[in-house]
Amino acid sequence: MMTKDEFKQAFLDELDTHFSVAIDEATDYELFEALSAVVRHGYSENWRRTRTEDNRQQTKQVYYFSIEFLPGTLLRSNLLNLGWLDQAREALHDLKLDLDQVALAEPDLALGNGGLGRLASCFMDSLASEGYAANGNGIYYKYGLFKQKFVDGYQVEMPNDWTKSDSPWLVRRKGKAALVHFGGHYTMIEQDGWLTPEYEGDQVVLAVPYDIAVVGYHNHVTNTMRLWNAEIPSEDEIDYRTIQDRRTIEDLTSVLYPNDSTYDGRLLRLKQEYFFVSAGIQSILRYFVKNNGTNAWDQLPDEVAIHINDTHPAMCVAELMRLLVDDYRVDWERAWQITQQVMSYTNHTIMAEALEKWDVNMFRQLLPRLMDIITEIDRRYAESLQGRVDGQIIDRTRIISGNQVHMAHLAIIGSHSINGVAELHTQLLETTVLNDFYNLYPDRFNNKTNGITLRRWLQLANPQLSHLLDEQLGSQWRNDSAQLLKLTKAADDPKVLNQLAKIKLANKQKLAQLIKQQTGLEVDPQAIFDVQVKRLHAYKRQTLKLLHVLALYRDLKNGIDHPKRVVIFGAKAAPSYVYAKQVIKVINEVAKLINHDPAINDRLKVVFLENYGVTLAEQIIPAADLSEQISTTTKEASGTSNMKLMANGALTIATMDGANVEIAEAVGDDNIFIFGLNKDQVNQAYADHSYDPQQVYNQSPVVKSVVDMLIDGTIPACQAEGKALYDSFVQANEPFFVLADLESYLQAQARVETAWQDQEAWAKRSLINIAHVERFDADHTVQLYAQDIWHLTPLAQA
């Protein structure tokens, strides 16, 4: 434990030691660094002890391989988990400082794009908090996810050179470096009766780990997230001749998701994937051998689980095989059994475009030995099924088909567990994209619905609501979200409902200030705060929200009134995704039009906040009344902003897609607004091409009148983009059913408006949403992974 006064002293000491400054001379970043130094002292012993405890108890550990992590900021989250948050807040207050203000100096660690990377970070937090020995394994990108700016309504990407600010959370561990080999040729030579590859002309890259402590909640467990940086090996390790050589090495871990529209871009991505996979697996085996020697490989599955987060690390399967067979001389069959027991795989999308396939020639050039290993895995796979199943099924499920390496197939064939991320998503995997595999290996498939860490998304993001929950339930819910269900007892207590509404209003006032600061716009905190925050993608249908905004605008202009509403967007578009960028431009122009139209008189405001990311999400989500989860049914694997918004008392308007289905089940039909085509209707339309958007457009006056606003000159300064959106909606076989769902969506929004009229009933629905969040708590989710997939038991409490 740490008292307030101890904290204050420790903080002042750090400020003095590091910077020799008094408080009033220190910059915000110096204050942040001094605080982080105190925090590091708080976990360093636990960090060391957790490693040695794992070792002593021979506890099984999971290694979560993910090409993306999105931790956001760590100062407050580490303070919370150490149990020091209140003391720190009070100590700073005594010194006339505001912790939240100082915390703003910390930049987001943004080494990911969206849901997949944030899920990985939520899981890291939950695994440590549930006491599991877990390790993250990823890439130390020099440039994180770009910073987004709007210039003239267009998205502009600025580099995110985060390493410049010297994050206090990373520890470089040169002593744990590994060498990773690319390219060249090899020949198999016999050594003591074992065929071993001899390499020639390969490029050698030094992988140096940067470790970040992952502090568990009030439990003395501190795990590690390891990010690998590509560096030039020193001259005694390898002789590097040309500047070009050196540059290609440094480029390897330079950027997150390099542009994949060129050959070189794709090659770089493949290199990145192998780089962190090889370094990670080497370090796992090195540690295992240190503890067990080189003769205990059958124990590997008792001590190690390796998780493949989406297909990007699918090469884990082949790399483990390579190291076992080539370096440790384990028989192929035995190595294969071990590999399958160790590996598990999560699929995060059914969208064909996102299922990775690599050109065989590219693969062979970059990774000649690994390609041959994969070829052998593939050959044996086909052989094992020969004569047992239809040849077409074998052809469809092989890893190598034509000139492509199918990474999902590699992950599936090499793993004992394959899971989807929501019930509907798993069911769709089983019945559609992975149906052949499901028929072959039904027992390997299972569902693990995503979750979010309530520590970050409720305790830290919404302290006032957390306080109300303490008053109502005691503080136990902070450790055990099942307690939240008891909140339903207060569902008819007007006092509690009133407090809940007051807290929401206070959060909205705070967000209104931020909006004012960032955009200059005044918004009314009494209005409905209607929020859609997520990556910009056609299937997520920010366009549908846009059409609703246009419908409201048209009504207001025609004297048809609606409750006051502030529509808030946050979204980044992939830099090369032209359509997504057009959507941003149109939304920004529509916002400008509406926000400055005196006839609207503030009844409707549209706010598109720049640079959506973890920190901005923490500010927006607690202030939301309405959560927009309006993807085309079957397309959103799960979604996780839906869970964060629900936990903060927003009501959801949603299609029956991803985890929305389970949210609806949890809160009941009265407490959610469902609309749109269901999965059978969508799949039917795909199958028989029966969707005719032109027909919808021609037959529905409502649809036509709204969609026409995109091309009739209503919106100035974005004619081309407006036309592009219009064309996308009416094109034959439009895959996202925007017009098909529009009327149903507008009707659901009308139900929202009716519900909003009765504020107490709204607050009651909000309370019921909060009460049912346990199902979506990542603590719960990782327990299921630990039990069903990884077979871990928690570390004994230290």
Q: Which is nearer to ligand 26V, 61 or 347 (CB)?
A: 347
Shortest distance (Å) from residue 622 CB to ligand 26V: 20
- Residue count of the chain, please give it: 798
Shortest distance (Å) from residue 718 CB to ligand 26V: 24
Q: Which is nearer to ligand 26V, 637 or 672 (CB)?
A: 637
Shortest distance (Å) from residue 418 CB to ligand 26V: 14
In the range 624-643, which residues lie near ligand 26V by CB under 6 A?
Answer: 636-640
Within a 13 Å sphere around the CA of 487, how many CA atoms are in the beta-carbon half?
32
Shortest distance (Å) from residue 119 CB to ligand 26V: 4
> Please, what sign has the CA dihedral across residues 519, 525, 527, 529?
positive
Cα 446 to Cα 30, 449, 607, 788: the distances in Å are 48, 10, 40, 9
Q: Which is nearer to ligand 26V, 682 or 752 (CB)?
A: 682
x-or-dash string of contact with ligand 26V, 287-326, rule CB under 6 A: -----------------------x----------------
- Which amino acid is present at 72? G
Q: Which is nearer to ligand 26V, 22 or 354 (CB)?
A: 354
Which residues, other chains included, contact 139 with Cβ-Cβ below 8 Å and sequence gap of 6+?
A: 67, 111, 227, 228, 253, 256, 272, 275, 276
x-or-dash string of contact with ligand 26V, 346-385, rule CB under 6 A: --xx-x-xx-------------------------------
> Rounded to an integer, what distance in angstroms lies between the CA atom of residue 638 and that of residue 640?
7
Q: Which is nearer to ligand 26V, 424 or 469 (CB)?
A: 424
Q: Which is nearer to ligand 26V, 153 or 639 (CB)?
A: 639
Count of positions on this chain that bind ligand 26V (CB under 6 A): 18
Q: Which is nearer to ligand 26V, 353 or 561 (CB)?
A: 353
Q: What tokens appear for 26 in the block?
A: 């220190």
180 closest CA partner among 102, 271, 107, 112: 271
Q: Which is nearer to ligand 26V, 413 or 573 (CB)?
A: 573
> Rounded to an integer, what distance in angstroms lies between the CA atom of residue 680 and that of residue 687?
10
Query: Could you give the angle at which helices 28-57 and 4-19 cross, rounded to 10 degrees?
Result: 110
- E-assigned strands of 44-184? 61-65, 69-72, 109-111, 134-139, 147-151, 154-158, 170-172, 178-182
Contact (CB, 8 A) for 212 and 69: no
Shortest distance (Å) from residue 636 CB to ligand 26V: 5
Shortest distance (Å) from residue 71 CB to ligand 26V: 15
In the range 653-672, which residues lie near ligand 26V by CB under 6 A?
Answer: 658
Shortest distance (Å) from residue 205 CB to ligand 26V: 26
Helices (H), 596-650: 614-620, 641-647
Indicate whether 652 belongs to the interface with ligand 26V (CB under 6 A).
no
In the range 98-157, which residues lie near ligand 26V by CB under 6 A?
Answer: 114-116, 119
> Rounded to an integer, what distance in angstroms lies between the CA atom of residue 408 and that of residue 357?
8
Cα 199 to Cα 279, 289, 566: the distances in Å are 18, 24, 62
412 closest CA partner among 440, 375, 379, 450: 440
Indicate whether 344 belongs to the interface with ligand 26V (CB under 6 A).
no
Which 8-state DSSP code applies to residue 758?
S
Shortest distance (Å) from residue 123 CB to ligand 26V: 10
> Rounded to an integer, what distance in angstroms lies between the CA atom of residue 541 and that of residue 353?
17
In the range 216-245, which residues lie near ligand 26V by CB under 6 A?
Answer: none
> Rounded to an integer, what distance in angstroms lies between the CA atom of residue 335 and that of residue 676?
49
Q: 136 - beta bridge partners? A: 64, 225
Q: Write out the catalytic residue numbers.
A: 348, 534-535, 540, 640, 644
DSSP string across 451-463:
-B-HIIIIIIT-H
Indicate whether 450 belongs to the interface with ligand 26V (CB under 6 A).
yes
In the range 395-424, which residues lie near ligand 26V by CB under 6 A?
Answer: 421
Q: What tokens appear for 488 in the block?
A: 């339903």
Question: Which residue ranges make up the site for ligand 26V (CB under 6 A)?
Answer: 114-116, 119, 310, 348-349, 351, 353-354, 421, 450, 636-640, 658
